[in-house]
Chains A and B, each alone.
Chain A
Amino acid sequence: MSDHPTNGLNDVVHQKHRLGILTIASESKRVEFGYLKDTLQLTGGNLSRHLTVLVDAGLLDMEKGYDGRRPKTWVSITRAGRQALADEVAALRALVTRLGE
């Protein structure tokens, strides 16, 4: 008996906003908190919680700095984050394939 594709899903990644954050981060060298907030239409607090989960899991790196006097928080994806995202996409594609059978 083969495993159901959902067994390949990672609980940390398989959440709509976290998947969105990783997708955006994977497409850039680094991305700023405000850009993520606007693009994903999240509140600051909600986004912070998701980022904390992803940083704690080692999927994102976080860097705090200033642009003039304005504080800025930048995040970048780690190699583990890229791998987790690739695994998630593979699991989702397997699910779609299963649906088409």
Chain B
Amino acid sequence: MCIAIEFGDLMTDEDVPDRDEQTATDLLDDMRTLRARVRTDRHGFAFPLFLFGALILLAPLTYVSTPLDPGVTFEMVQRGPFPQFAPMFGNVKYPGVIDWYWVLTIVGGMALTGWWYRRRALRLGVETDTRTPFVAAGAALAGFLLWEPLLNGLLTEYGTLYSSPKINLPILVVSAVAATAVLAWAFRPQRTDTQRAAGVFAGILLASLTFATVGIYMIKGFSALLAIAAALLVLAWWERSALLAVVGVLFTAASIPANHPLWYWDLGYVFQELGWTTSWDDGTVFALQNLLLPGLILLAGGAVAALTRHGAAPRE
């Protein structure tokens, strides 16, 4: 279906002002219609929802564990190259595999998403700018992998700032507010290219610091979910999609209790209350209980997007 916009002809002196005033409302209405049409056409988010949903639900397969010795209720796990992405408890056999799985899920998932949008643009003729969601995921990843160990190493002698909210929370709040202010400043229309580039760079660094301070509380080792959540929320804003925004918010809301035992919001406790019990040393079940809901939210969102043709294949 095509929409023809019936705008007024080029204005001439004879037309001014009455006809201008009559056509202005029509012009604005038609621009709104045209904008909505383009937004619907360029939505391509069903693919990343399916992709990340599937990768999250496959992740428990990497949490192979060895049984604990008799009499031992829990023990600290061996650490891989990115311990932020591995569980603190549970006797996982290959922590390095888990770490790399999450890093590759984020980096590879974003690369595949970029490929998908590019391929879709060639077919349809209109392309979404996916750089900003990728930058959001990159800022989160850098925060977790670079800033977080740096903060823990520099600001505390206990190895983690988890129990030092007087240090960590002020950094979290100040960096989040500063990142928002700097990015808002950078995107003001009157900024020069140099000012904008400098502002965006500083804003990303500050946002990355915010992610690091949040990551310190993600003690169950699924902070990669927050990097995916950040990318989805930014993509929702970039795509101007209410559906993707709802999916992103639900996914974020499920990712927090997957990472931190917030009383009964801990997903493991919820499943145990429902009768699905497990022990700390069963890494696969532990991971599945925490990742099931976030993964299913993405798959359900992808299914809704595909069925309603929002963010799925272009219309013929």
Contacts and interface: CB of A to CB of B under 8 A. Distances in A.
A79 to B, nearest CB: 8
B113 to A, nearest CB: 14
B28 A92 contact: yes
A99 to B, nearest CB: 4
Interface string B114-145: 00000001101111110000000000000000
A82 to B, nearest CB: 8
Interface string A36-72: 1011110000000000000000000000000100001
Nearest to B193: A79
B7 A16 contact: yes
A6 B28 CA distance: 15
A72 B123 CA distance: 11
Contacts of A83: 189
Contacts of B122: 67, 72
Interface residues of B, number: 37
A39 B127 CA distance: 15
A7 B136 CA distance: 41
A33 B31 CA distance: 19
Contacts of B8: 16
Contacts of A27: 35, 38-39, 42, 126
B16 A19 contact: no
A99 B24 contact: yes
B28 A20 contact: no
Given A35-B126, A96-B25, A17 B7 contact: yes
Contact of B38 (A5, A15, A24): A24
A96 B28 contact: yes
B34 interface: yes
A29 B128 CA distance: 5
Interface in B1-45: 2-11, 16-17, 20-22, 24-25, 27-28, 30-31, 34-35, 37-39, 41-42
A34 B27 CA distance: 23
Contacts of A93: 24, 28
A25 B1 CA distance: 19
A26 to B, nearest CB: 8
Nearest to B4: A41
10 contacts: A4-B17, A16-B5, A16-B7, A23-B31, A24-B126, A27-B35, A27-B126, A36-B125, A40-B4, A96-B21
Given A16-B6, A29-B127, 12 more contacts: A11-B11, A20-B30, A27-B42, A29-B129, A30-B126, A30-B127, A38-B125, A89-B31, A92-B28, A93-B24, A95-B20, A99-B22
Which 8 A-B pairs rank lowest in CB-CB distance, beginning with the nearest? A16-B7, A35-B125, A32-B125, A29-B129, A95-B24, A99-B21, A27-B38, A92-B24
Interface of A: 4-6, 9, 11, 14-17, 19-20, 23-24, 27-36, 38-41, 67, 72, 79, 82-83, 86, 89, 92-93, 95-96, 98-99
